[in-house]
Each structure stands twice: as C-alpha cells, then as structure tokens.
Amino acid sequence: MDQAQNLRNIVKQHIETEKQNKTARVITVTSGKGGVGKTSTSLNLAIELTRMGNKVIIFDADFGLANIEVMIGAVPRYNLSDMILRGKKLEDILLDGPMGIRYISGGSGINHFEDLNKDQVIYMLHEFHQLETMADIIIIDTGAGISHTVMEFVASSMEVILVTTPEPTSITDAYSLLKALNRHEGFDPENTEVKLLANKVDDYTDGQSLYKKLNMVVSKFLDMKLEFMGVIPNDSHMSKSIIMQKPVALSFPKSKSAQAYVELAEALMNGTHMSEDEKRGLSYIFTKYLKIRKGD
Ligand SMILES: Nc1ncnc2c1ncn2[C@@H]1O[C@H](COP(=O)(O)OP(=O)(O)OP(=O)(O)O)[C@@H](O)[C@H]1O
Ligand SMILES: [Mg+2]
C-alpha cells in the first residue's frame, strides 16, 4: 500500500467514526466578488447565534489575509499551519473573541497534501474532532472568487451562504462562482444548500429583486437550486463599527443592519437544514480540501 492510499484509509476510517459522533453544524460564507460583506456577515451572525445560546467558532479560511482580526482588534499568536505543521495544540490557535466566540486563523493555508505525513494527518483529524465537540456551529469565512480552496470548501459544505450586493459585478461574479460550483466534481446539489444573502440593499424588495435576477439565470442554466436567505440593508453603522473594531451587532445593536442579523440568525435556527442525514463536519471539508480522498 502506498503512502497516499494509507492516508486515504485513515481518513475514511475517521469519517466513518465522525458520522457516529457529534459534529458541529458548519456554515460556509462565500462570495463571487471580494469586499461584499462575508466577514461582517460571519462575525455578526456568530454574535447573534451566540446570543441564542449556541457555541460558535469562526474559521477564517481566507488564507493569507486576516480580516476578522482587524474587525475585533485582536491577533492570534498561532494559526492552522502552526497546528498541523508545527505541532501546536488546538487551544494555542484558538483566539477568544467577543461573547466567547472563538476564532481560528487559517494562516497561509496548507496547500499540498503531499507535504503532510501520516502523523500530521492523524493529528489534524484528532484536533478537528475536538474542535467539533467544542462548538455547536462553525462558520467558515472563505476568500472571494473561484479558487481551488473556495470551490473545495463550498462544494463539500452542506450549507453555504452566498453574499452578494446589488452591484452588477457582484451579481455576475456570484453567477460565475455558482457556474464553477455546478461543474465542480465534488459538488452535489442534493447535498449542498446554497442560500443567497443580499447585502447592502436599500430595502427588502431591493434584495428580493437581486435574488430574482440571479435565480432566473441559475434556474435556466444550472442544475442546482438557489434559496433566498434574506437581506442586510446598506447601513452606515457598519463602517462605523469597523473603525471602532467592534462588530455592529455589539456596537449598534438597534441599528437596522444589526436587527437584520438577528432575523437571519433566527431564520437559520428555526428553518430546516440538511444536517442529520449525511453529516459533514470540519474534518470532512478539510480532507476534501487537502485532496486526501482523491482517487476514492
Ligand atoms: N450592510 C452593509 N452596509 C454598509 N457597509 C457594509 C455592509 N456590509 C459590509 N459593509 C462594508 O463593506 C466592507 C467590506 O465588508 P467585509 O470586509 O465584510 O467584506 P468581505 O466580503 O469579507 O471582504 P473580503 O473579500 O475582502 O474578505 C466593510 O468596510 C464593511 O463595513
Ligand atoms: Mg473578508
């Protein structure tokens, strides 16, 4: 048995065990175009979901950039690469954010599965498993656009929030992302639910018309369903909160954007979502990303 086969077997076994154990609900936040509000959404949703009694961990998979760190004004000492490659423990890389929300920085990412040895893979799966038991919900904040990383994360997630603004390029880039997703070998529309979040809109109707525009082309040309999640209005409190390094849900809880996050979090908790049939935890998503299962 070669080294790669050996690792695939370890991962397979792990995924089988994972199915029997508690896994967190993983929600992946993505967008076609950059700067449309993924990090704001991840953070403010995390706050509202925490208020509702969930334990939430945010994973920053926008490798290289450190967005959330800026928004909460704290910098983690270590990142995911330090854990997998340099043996740091999970607790070393977890940063405590507001309200007990914890945050993990992806760091520069782990791009080559070939670089990881068997012990590193086992260690990573073990630590991830621990992570899942610590959280009810894990929010993955991805980078924007169609990259290998984003596509793998999105295709292997069960719940995806696609953030889009009414800007024409934001809508066309969202469509490009969905088109690439539709073609992606790991994507199965039965297993991945994609919900559109219309951000920076004038009002609900504005958001609905954005959804209708995008959904018209999606339903015509792609073999997948796009759900409508809701809207976040354009709100100047958002930029003020960035300067204060305090998310709007905490700095201006009465503002219209903060109120919209409350509604979205409630809808997420009250709505039905695919979770119990086929569990896909963080290690499933990561092993996909690392292409460990390639050749299965
Ligand atoms: N609803 C909103 N109203 C007003 N401003 C907003 C809104 N949502 C986000 N913004 C502003 O847009 C900017 C980009 O937001 P954010 O950093 O969340 O986007 P992003 O998609 O994570 O960006 P990147 O692709 O660079 O990671 C921020 O300055 C933020 O304050
Ligand atoms: Mg961001």
Give per-residue pLDDT as tens, 242-269: 888 889 999 999 999 999 999 999 999 9
Distance separating alpha carbons of residues 65 and 50, to the nearest angstrom: 25
The boundaries of the domain holding residue 182 are 3-289
Residue with tokens 């992570």: 131
pLDDT at residue 81 tops 90:
no
Mutate to test the pocket of ligand 1, among 29, 33, 36, 40 (most ligand atoms within 8 A of CB): 40
- Whether residue 62 is contained in a domain is answered as yes
Cα–Cα distance for residue pair 222/110, rounded to 1 Å: 31
Residue 219 maps to a domain: yes
* Atom 5 in ligand 1: residue holding the nearest Cα: 238
Ligand nearest to the CA of 34: 1
Query: Is residue 296 a part of any domain in this protein?
Result: no
In which residue are the tokens 């993955």 written? 140
Q: Is 150 in contact with 21 (CB distance < 8 Å)? A: no
Nearest CA to ligand 1 atom 26: 35
Tell me, yes or no, whether 220 lies in a domain: yes
What single letter denotes the amino acid at residue 243? I
3-state secondary structure of 296: coil
- 43: domain CATH number? 3.40.50.300
The reply to whether the predicted model has a pTM over 0.75 is: yes
- Is pLDDT of 196 > 90? yes
What is the tally of structural domains in the chain? 1
Could you identify the atom of ligand 1 that is nearest to the CA of residue 34?
Answer: 25
Which has the minimum average pLDDT: 16-25, 49-58, 149-158, 174-183?
16-25
The residue whose CA is least distant from atom 23 of ligand 1 is 35
- Quick check: 112 pLDDT over 60? no
pLDDT confidence bin for 296, thresholds 50/70/90: very low
Decide: 287 in ligand 1 pocket, CB within 6 A.
no
Least-confidence region, from 221-230, 253-262, 267-276: 267-276
Q: Which of 57, 48, 63, 66 has the alpha carbon at shortest distance from 27?
A: 57
pLDDT of residue 240: 93
**Beta carbon of 199 within 6 Å of any ligand 1 atom:** yes
Q: 29: Cβ below 6 Å to ligand 1?
A: no
70 in ligand 1 pocket by Cβ < 6 Å?
A: no
Domain for residue 135, yes or no? yes
Domain membership flag for residue 153: yes
Identify the residue with better confidence: 225 or 68.
225
Domain membership flag for residue 281: yes
Compute the distance between CA of residue 125 and CA of residue 56 in angstroms, rounded to an integer.
Answer: 19
Distance of CA 164 to the CA centre of its chain: 15
- 295 is a domain residue: no
- Cβ contacts of residue 262 below 8 Å, gap of 6+? 48, 249
